[in-house]
Structure 1
């Protein structure tokens, strides 16, 4: 790829670097372009993170749902000869017990590579239908851990079953500079083939919950906040909060 060759020639002159990549593609039949964007930090000059943008786009081109014709592609790359990374050190909450409808203040301590630690405050709204007596899991994490949680917490929810779901999945992959704060809420229901079913009759819920086929799993709801930062983040911290 011409873009990769051009940037590789640049990165040979750089050591550690921060890279911002944005790919926009106009697909035939769609008014709005597909946009894939992320920021990376890389110490080894022999490898370039452009592949992490190209691979998701290849999922669209080689999808199993329909043929794709791309009318236009725009690729923007910004390379900085500096290290902009930070580690998620700790989190604290303003209360260990919440009521449905409460606002929970989460303070995340972040430590830049060279610099003093600071707190990022995130306010999380607890849903009105949260069950009293349940325990919520509050997590602050980076993109890699967040993506793993996405795949592990709801079977099939992040496995596209049509082209529109695939586009949404690719465009909403977690960005490395986003601080994610997540409140996990256990719910009554199941996921099946990427869709959530929270209002099934008890008899149907019992049958599906013991199913021996793939694509079925427990249903969770989550309140998720994403806060853009100036750093490529690493790390995760969690704390339980009870509902009274």
Structure 2
């Protein structure tokens, strides 16, 4: 996440803290302030251990930790009882948000546990007044970019508490995909749990009304794969609910589908105990994801982004359809998870492969963006998915303006062999050329495990090209992109969304040999747009700017002509040679020396 997005999130948090919205009309007589809580008090907690039935467990207060976090207290307790019982299983992942009552008054939500293996079922409770305070934040555009919650690396010699892990229960997932999902979710304190979906008959049979103690789901993926985070409702006021007692992601203002949930069973292990649950019916939207919990509105809709994935290979084609949560950080994350699962479900997970990808991104207010790429290797296909979705990552991370996605599709064509070739030679038929003449270039490639072969293409020397010595390059996509970024650095600092789209559209696929005719002759980039033949006055002005800018700069040479040669191989390497262009020297162009001086500064 960019520094600007982080700062906007902090500003949003400050605005929320000083706001006076009163979304929740809690009856104070039904709540117990943290200052009234004493060690030795006993109470009950409520959660679902099986099905949708809310059951009780016992709670004994051990103490109150004032200012455990900035302006945040914590109630420490021991939890026992329940059908398991909890003194044997420990606190379950999925119990986050379980409401805790003393003398019939709500004191808060079960929220965190010791980070290392406890001998007793100890737990921390987030006070209800802090949860209500955070749930009543003023919603603003700045809130939408709040920095995500990331669970830090724990020092095993220190003692600390961590949020109760949220089980992310997935169905329709290949076993090989679980490790990838776990890796993606681990920084956010979530545990990937392989489960299943509830049957349609069960969904129709159960009419679950969310209430304190009910299991609640937050849906991230639905369709041919389903993924939902599951916790417990802490408090409800008419159509508004609070849950979890700790952040899910720490996403600030969000818009995630909220569902009812069914607990199939509880599983207790020596390392981790959790609820195995399924989302049932979408009933509203989670709108806030804050330090002390999540909150949402029953009856409100949360639109999702459609994702279509097509995997073809060995004469077969498989189609997958998903809907993905709409959020700048989590849309790309869960699209990668769903696409990786589609690939793993369809194709083998080990051995040599070559995968050609085509990513199509449709927007609400712009032309579709299509980016093609090719990958080859012998190990995990994870880099394929990460690389294929890199344009989407770029779009969601841009500080230029929010981008609304209409639909995303990914096509993957899989071949069960490694198709890799190295550029080992470049030749042309002559050394000198004239403007308007074609340069016939032949590039020699040496494939992995095969004999070398040659690919050919031509470049046309533009009319009006000045006399001089030029370099002709034949390079892979990475080398060409690196060279271009060094040649015209400011060109890759887009000033508008349209310029960003242009950069992404011009991305070169790895199966391409790029032919480039280059001359060491200065040009200029202004406001992210390259001007290859600027007047001397503009060159003088830009060259005299004393401080560097991100959008205005001289270019380190000019691209006179280029051509792209597609191949069936992932290409690596580079070759070059010098050619002479017999053009005309123009005295009134940039061949004149650039005047030194202060000059005027171009608008930054």
The answer on whether the counterparts of 2:421 and 2:569 sit within 8 Å (CA) in structure 1 is yes
* Bigger shift: residues 204-213 or 2-11: 2-11
TM-fit CA distance, 1:108: 0.8
Distance 2:535 2:568 in 1: 47
The answer on whether the counterparts of 2:542 and 2:553 sit within 8 Å (CA) in structure 1 is yes
SS in 2 for 1:116: coil
More relative contact order in 1 or in 2 (CA 8 Å, sep 6+)?
Answer: 1
The answer on whether the counterparts of 2:350 and 2:379 sit within 8 Å (CA) in structure 1 is no
* Bigger shift: residues 213-222 or 163-172: 213-222
Cross-structure match for 1:16: 352
TM-fit CA distance, 1:171: 2.2
The answer on whether the counterparts of 1:184 and 1:222 sit within 8 Å (CA) in structure 2 is yes
* Equivalent residues in 2 for 1:31-50, closer than 5 Å: 32-45=367-380, 47-50=382-385
The answer on whether the counterparts of 1:89 and 1:110 sit within 8 Å (CA) in structure 2 is yes
Cross-structure match for 2:168: none
**TM-score, normalised relative to structure 2:** 0.38
Aligned equivalent of 1:234, options 569, 572, 590: 572
SS in 2 for 1:157: helix
Query: Is structure 2 residue 429 aligned with structure 1 residue 94?
Result: yes
* Bigger shift: residues 228-237 or 38-47: 38-47
TM-fit CA distance, 1:8: 4.1
Cross-structure match for 2:541: 207
Cross-structure match for 1:220: 558
The answer on whether the counterparts of 2:539 and 2:554 sit within 8 Å (CA) in structure 1 is no
SS in 1 for 2:340: helix
TM-fit CA distance, 1:144: 0.7
Cross-structure match for 2:364: 28
Cross-structure match for 1:6: 342
TM-fit CA distance, 1:204: 3.8
SS in 2 for 1:66: coil
The answer on whether the counterparts of 1:8 and 1:48 sit within 8 Å (CA) in structure 2 is no
Change in Cα spacing, 1:9 to 1:183, as seen in structure 2 (3 Å) is same
Question: What are structure 1's unaligned runs of at least 5 residues?
Answer: none
Structure number, greater radius of gyration? 2
Question: What are structure 2's unaligned runs of at least 5 residues?
Answer: 1-336, 583-604
The answer on whether the counterparts of 1:155 and 1:194 sit within 8 Å (CA) in structure 2 is no
TM-fit CA distance, 1:13: 3.3
**Superposition CA RMSD, Å:** 2.0
Aligned equivalent of 1:69, options 396, 401, 404: 404
Cross-structure match for 1:177: 511
Distance 2:395 2:494 in 1: 11
SS in 2 for 1:61: helix
Distance 2:401 2:381 in 1: 36
* Equivalent residues in 2 for 1:67-216, closer than 5 Å: 67-132=402-467, 134-187=468-521, 189-198=523-532, 200-212=534-546, 213-214=548-549, 215-216=552-553
Distance 2:356 2:523 in 1: 40
TM-fit CA distance, 1:79: 2.1
TM-fit CA distance, 1:75: 1.7
1:183-212 Cα offsets, whole Å, 9 max, x none, are 013445322332223554434422322323
1:92-131 Cα offsets, whole Å, 9 max, x none, are 1111122222211111111111222122121111112221
Distance 1:243 1:199 in 2: 17
SS in 1 for 2:480: helix
SS in 1 for 2:490: coil
**TM-score, normalised relative to structure 1:** 0.90
The answer on whether the counterparts of 2:352 and 2:418 sit within 8 Å (CA) in structure 1 is yes
